[in-house]
């Protein structure tokens, strides 16, 4: 396989974008990535999106987006794997470039979630769980992660305060990210006093509802060396794995095995291990998710994820900064866009463009994107070329 | 809830029918066409055990519209005797008296109301075992 480089990245505005249609949100991000890459020609594109059908009543998305991007006619593919749609779109784009089928590929992700209101969003997001054997019984997404949290707390002694520390850390990082939807700091006390959603999770343990898009332009590394004017960033590892989408079908309820397997594949491909990673963007859709994911990625031992944010291990300046962008928690979580936005953060960090939240000497970053309660997971490793 | 889907799922929801793999004995709920453990494709129909242990749970305080009348309510994952795990509401107990690891029994109850014109959906819920 050819080595693949990321030569351009971009994001739309993120937040409650009442005035902007979904197509414009996507095109805004795609144009930013294309301009950043400085390329004219796009051979093919991928669009990660979880459920535009339920959020805005629009499917057939890839053709529509390529048209509104002014590229009608090119092959365009929509990719769905719930909240991992963006990360999986990036992986498929990378495989297309790596295989030699295409040279310059645009990978974008988009979701417009606010139009349907709170109950509509709850319904749409719950389709990532088993409709007939989980959702039927009244469980919500926060409810499923709350059950993961209760199991982790009972088994490993993880504390309610430790969950809060994940939110505090990620909001602190997000306060340094001008693109974050909620760039405000929160306190442990503030998290503990916020409204209960599903015990023990409170509203400040949950990522927000976001409209937004992100995009990246990729090409063969050898081509990037000739055409790119930016510091070169290459993809060295990629992994993807699945699991049952029903949480109850897993005998270990707080181990995200798909994330673990995807990471093992990515580490093997890159020829590195968890200790070689300088910083990471992980799927903190809920505070407990970051705790379980950093265990699955091997950054900490099983059961010790709760201590990481509390001790500063995963904060900027710590041994392994996690979610320097603010994560899903503070930056926002337009579900189909999230996985691509993680690639944007990795690329900018590796280029040294992250301003106040720059990880000093960042050479190798990892992105982990997850669908549902871990029924799918995609991991990428990017390095300075 | 589409009536056709609800009707189709009645054997599982009303009679708790599961599939027991004829080769390795794994019990699958809902029934499957392929055994996830050994790959075999033939099953016997068995009834799920009606008691088990509460592995984890939560209290839903922000509920979907079909459940707002019940909120707050407890939902948990129960490991039934024999090893099958199900997601189910835990009822007939005060919310702050629910304990991880407690024995529960499966009962037949009304689960959700699908709006004023929709169907009323029944199924299993768990109650404390006597
Ligand atoms: Zn079998």
A299-329 b/e with 16+ CB inside 10 Å = b?
A: bbeeebbbbbbbeebbbbebebbbbbbbbbb
A123 with B64: Cβ contact below 8 A: yes
The percentage of residues in chain A with a pLDDT greater than 90, rounded to a whole number, is 99
Residue A152 among the catalytic residues: no
What pLDDT band is residue A182 in, cutting at 50, 70 and 90? Answer: very high
A199 with B100: Cβ contact below 8 A: no
What pLDDT band is residue B11 in, cutting at 50, 70 and 90? Answer: confident
pLDDT tens for each residue of A19-37:
999 999 999 999 999 999 9
CATH no. for B49-130: 2.40.50.840
Instruction: Please give the mean pLDDT across all residues of chain A.
Output: 97
Structure tokens at A38: 């400085």
The percentage of residues in chain A with a pLDDT greater than 70, rounded to a whole number, is 100
What pLDDT band is residue B7 in, cutting at 50, 70 and 90? Answer: confident
Q: Is B28 on the interface with A (CB under 8 A)?
A: no
Residue A167 sits in the same domain as residue A247: yes
pLDDT tens for each residue of A190-228:
999 999 999 999 999 999 999 999 999 999 999 999 999
Q: Got the DSSP string for chain B?
A: --HHHHHHTHHHHHH-EEEEETTT--EESS--SS-TTT----EEEEEPPSEEEEEEEEEESS--GGGGGG-SEEEEEEEETTS-EEEEEE-SS-GGG--TT-EEEEEEEEEEE-TTTS-EEEEEEEEE--
pLDDT at B8 (0 to 100) = 80
pLDDT at A36 (0 to 100) = 98
Number of CB pairs, chain A paired with chain B, less than 8 A apart = 93
Question: What is the average pLDDT across B30-56?
Answer: 96
Ligand 1: distance of its center to the CA of B23 in Å? 5
Neighboring chain B residues of A200 at a CB cutoff of 8 Å: 58
Residue A369 near residue A339 (C-beta atoms within 8 A): yes
Residue A45 sits in the same domain as residue A140: no
Residue A153 sits in the same domain as residue A190: yes
pLDDT tens for each residue of B64-89:
988 998 999 999 999 999 999 999 99
Closest approach of A253 to chain B, Cα-based (Å): 9
Q: Got the DSSP string for A337-369?
A: HHHHHHHHHHHHHHHT--GGGPPTT--EEEEEE
Residue B4 near residue A132 (C-beta atoms within 8 A): no
Q: Say if residue B115's pLDDT is above 90.
A: no
Question: What is the average pLDDT across A230-246?
Answer: 98
Instruction: Give the residues across from B73 on adjacent strands.
Output: B60
Instruction: Give the residues across from B108 on adjacent strands.
Output: B124
What pLDDT band is residue A251 in, cutting at 50, 70 and 90? Answer: confident
Residue A113 sits in the same domain as residue A131: no
Q: Which residue of B has its CA nearest to A203?
A: B62
Closest approach of B112 to chain A, Cα-based (Å): 8
Q: Map tokens 């629910």 to a residue.
A: B98
Q: Say if residue B117's pLDDT is above 70.
A: no
Residue A36 sits in the same domain as residue A145: no
Q: Is B100 on the interface with A (CB under 8 A)?
A: yes
Q: Say if residue A261's pLDDT is above 90.
A: yes
Residue A264 sits in the same domain as residue A380: yes
Q: Say if residue B4's pLDDT is above 90.
A: no
Q: Is B89 on the interface with A (CB under 8 A)?
A: yes
Residue A142 sits in the same domain as residue A156: yes
Residue A128 sits in the same domain as residue A165: yes
Task: Report H helices in A127-233.
Answer: 141-156, 160-174, 188-193, 221-227
> In this complex, which of A122, A133, A199 lies closest to B59 when CB atoms are compared?
A199
Count of alpha carbons within 13 Å of A55, Cβ hemisphere only? 23
Chain centroid to CA A311: 24
Domain that holds residue A99: 4-117+209-227
What span, in angstroms and rounded, lies between the C-alpha atoms of A286 and A206? 5
What span, in angstroms and rounded, lies between the C-alpha atoms of A118 and A223? 46
Q: Say if residue B116's pLDDT is above 70.
A: no
B63 with A126: Cβ contact below 8 A: no
Residue of A119, A136, A151 best to disrupt the B interface, most CBs of B under 10 A:
A136
Residue A147 sits in the same domain as residue A19: no
Residue A83 among the catalytic residues: yes
Residue A219 sits in the same domain as residue A298: no
pLDDT tens for each residue of A127-181:
999 999 999 999 999 999 999 999 999 999 999 999 999 999 999 999 999 999 9
Residue B25: which region, alpha, beta or left (left: phi > 0; alpha: psi -120 to 50)? left
B77 with A253: Cβ contact below 8 A: yes
Residue A22 sits in the same domain as residue A65: yes
Q: Is A199 on the interface with B (CB under 8 A)?
A: yes
Count of domains for chain A: 2
What pLDDT band is residue B130 in, cutting at 50, 70 and 90? Answer: confident
**From residue A156, how far is each of A320, A329, B33, B93 by CA, in Å?**
22, 24, 37, 27
Q: Which of A49, A83, A206, A219 is catalytic?
A: A83
Rg of chain A taking only CA atoms, in angstroms: 19
Q: Is B59 on the interface with A (CB under 8 A)?
A: yes
Closest approach of A151 to chain B, Cα-based (Å): 6
Residue A187 sits in the same domain as residue A69: no
pLDDT at A41 (0 to 100) = 94
The one-character DSSP state at A238 is E
Looking at this predicted complex, what is its ipTM?
0.95
Domain map (residue ranges) of chain B? 1-48, 49-130
**From residue B51, how far is each of A137, A210, A246, A384, B47 by CA, in Å?**
18, 42, 21, 56, 12
Question: What is the average pLDDT across A69-78?
Answer: 98
Neighboring chain A residues of B9 at a CB cutoff of 8 Å: 132
pLDDT tens for each residue of A294-309:
999 999 999 999 999 9
A136 with B112: Cβ contact below 8 A: yes
Neighboring chain B residues of A121 at a CB cutoff of 8 Å: none
pLDDT tens for each residue of A271-295:
999 999 999 999 999 999 999 999 9
What pLDDT band is residue B43 in, cutting at 50, 70 and 90? Answer: very high
Ligand 1: distance of its center to the CA of A333 in Å? 40
pLDDT at B6 (0 to 100) = 76
B87 with A133: Cβ contact below 8 A: yes
Chain centroid to CA A214: 10
Residue A374's nearest CA partner among A144, A48, A152 is A144
Q: Say if residue A347's pLDDT is above 90.
A: yes
Instruction: Please give the mean pLDDT across all residues of chain B.
Output: 91
Q: Is A158 on the interface with B (CB under 8 A)?
A: no
Ligand 1: distance of its center to the CA of B20 in Å? 8
Please state, as a whole number, how many other Cβ atoms lie within 10 Å of the Cβ of residue A234: 18
State the CATH number of the domain containing residue A162. Answer: 3.40.47.10
pLDDT at A283 (0 to 100) = 98
Sign of CA dihedral B87, B91, B97, B102: negative
Residue of A151, A199, A372 best to disrupt the B interface, most CBs of B under 10 A:
A199
Residue A170's nearest CA partner among A214, A129, A204 is A204
Residue B107 near residue B63 (C-beta atoms within 8 A): no
Helix (H, G, I), strand (E, B) or coil at A234: strand
Q: Say if residue B110's pLDDT is above 90.
A: no
What pLDDT band is residue B119 in, cutting at 50, 70 and 90? Answer: confident
Q: Which residue of B has its CA nearest to A135?
A: B87
What pLDDT band is residue B9 in, cutting at 50, 70 and 90? Answer: confident
Q: Which of A227, A257, A292 is the last residue of a domain?
A: A227
């Amino acid at each position: 396989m050819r080595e693949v480089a990321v030569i351009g990245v971009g994001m739309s505005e993120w937040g409650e974008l009442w005035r902007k249609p979904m197509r414009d949100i996507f095109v805004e991000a795609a144009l930013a990535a294309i301009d950043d890459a400085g390329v004219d020609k796009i051979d093919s594109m991928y669009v990660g999106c979880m459920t535009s059908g339920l959020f805005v009543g629009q499917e057939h998305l890839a053709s529509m987006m390529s048209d509104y991007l002014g590229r009608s006619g090119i092959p365009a593919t929509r990719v769905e794997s719930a909240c991992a749609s963006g990360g999986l779109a990036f992986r498929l784009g990378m495989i297309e470039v790596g295989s030699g089928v295409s040279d310059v590929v645009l990978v974008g992700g988009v979701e417009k979630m606010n139009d349907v209101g709170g109950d509509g969003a709850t319904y749409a997001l719950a389709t990532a769980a088993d409709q007939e054997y989980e959702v039927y019984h009244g469980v919500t997404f926060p409810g499923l992660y709350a059950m993961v949290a209760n199991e982790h707390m009972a088994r490993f002694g993880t504390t309610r305060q430790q969950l809060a520390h994940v939110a505090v850390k990620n909001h602190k990082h997000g306060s340094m990210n001008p693109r974050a939807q909620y760039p405000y700091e929160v306190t442990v006390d503030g998290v503990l006093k916020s409204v209960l959603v599903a015990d023990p999770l409170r509203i400040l343990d949950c990522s927000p509802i976001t409209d937004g898009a992100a995009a990246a332009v990729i090409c063969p590394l050898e081509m990037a060396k000739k055409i790119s004017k930016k510091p070169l960033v290459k993809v060295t590892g990629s992994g993807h794995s699945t699991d049952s989408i029903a949480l109850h079908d897993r005998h270990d309820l707080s181990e995200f095995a798909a994330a673990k397997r995807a990471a093992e594949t990515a580490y093997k491909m890159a020829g590195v291990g968890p200790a070689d990673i300088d910083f990471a963007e992980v799927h903190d859709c809920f505070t407990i998710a970051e705790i379980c994911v950093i265990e699955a990625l091997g950054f900490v031992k099983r059961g010790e994820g709760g201590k990481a944010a509390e001790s500063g291990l995963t904060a900027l300046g710590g041994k392994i900064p996690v979610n320097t962008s603010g994560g899903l928690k503070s930056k926002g979580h337009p579900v189909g866009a999230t996985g691509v936005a993680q690639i944007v953060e990795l690329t900018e960090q590796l280029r040294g463009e992250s301003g106040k939240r720059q990880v000093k000497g960042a050479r190798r970053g990892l992105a982990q994107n997850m669908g549902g309660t871990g029924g799918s997971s995609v991991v990428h490793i990017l390095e300075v070329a | 809830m589409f009536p056709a889907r609800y009707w189709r799922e009645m054997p599982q929801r009303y009679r708790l029918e599961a599939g027991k793999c004829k080769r390795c004995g794994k019990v699958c709920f809902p029934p499957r066409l392929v055994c996830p453990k050994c790959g075999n494709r033939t099953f016997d129909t068995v009834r799920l055990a009606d008691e088990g242990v509460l592995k984890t749970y939560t209290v839903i305080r922000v509920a979907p519209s079909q459940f707002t009348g019940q909120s707050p309510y407890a939902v948990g994952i129960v490991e039934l005797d024999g090893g099958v795990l199900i997601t189910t509401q835990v009822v007939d107990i005060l919310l702050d008296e629910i304990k991880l690891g407690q024995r529960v029994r499966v009962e037949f109850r009304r689960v959700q109301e699908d709006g004023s014109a929709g169907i009323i959906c029944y199924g299993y819920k768990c109650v404390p075992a006597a």
